[in-house]
């Protein structure tokens, strides 16, 4: 592999080349760590978000809106809802004073039929 046309390098060229290489190496290392940290952050955030959604799903029934809740009042009062729906309405009434008021008004007008 020795090439007779090669000449000794001018003084300092190897050093500057080595410095360039070292500089590039540093840049690449920095880039890799930035990417790694970014990926780690995204991963952590994703896990946290998913965990929170899971916790919400487990601890409380999927929450319903006021409109949905009021639409269920009659069936809730008449005992025509599935247990899941009943829990949703109950939970919403616990959390929402205005729906609780509406429900009480409705119940006064329509006493429980069962």
Q: Are 58 and 32 in contact (CB under 8 A)?
A: no
Rg of the chain over Cα atoms, rounded to whole angstroms, equals: 34
**Cβ nearer to Zn ion, comparing 96 with 106:** 96
Contact flag: residue 101 with Zn ion (CB under 5 A): no
Residue 66 is a binding residue for Zn ion (CB under 5 A): yes
Q: C-alpha dihedral over 105, 78, 91, 48, to 10 degrees? A: -140
| 38 lies in the binding site for Zn ion (CB under 5 A) | no
Q: Which stretch binds Zn ion (CB under 5 A): 15-23, 42-50, 59-67, 82-90?
A: 59-67
- Judged by CB, which is closer to Zn ion: 5, or 87? 87
């Amino acid at each position: 592999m020795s090439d007779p046309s090669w000449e000794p390098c001018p003084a300092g060229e190897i050093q500057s080349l080595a410095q360039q290489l070292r500089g590039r190496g540093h840049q690449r290392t920095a880039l890799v760590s930035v990417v790694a940290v970014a990926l780690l952050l995204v991963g952590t955030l994703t896990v946290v978000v998913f965990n929170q959604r899971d916790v919400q799903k487990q601890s409380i029934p999927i929450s319903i809106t006021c409109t949905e809740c009021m639409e269920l009042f009659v069936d809730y009062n008449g005992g025509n809802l599935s247990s899941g729906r009943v829990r949703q309405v109950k939970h919403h009434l616990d959390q929402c004073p205005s729906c609780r008021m509406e429900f009480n008004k409705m119940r006064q007008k329509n006493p429980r039929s069962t």
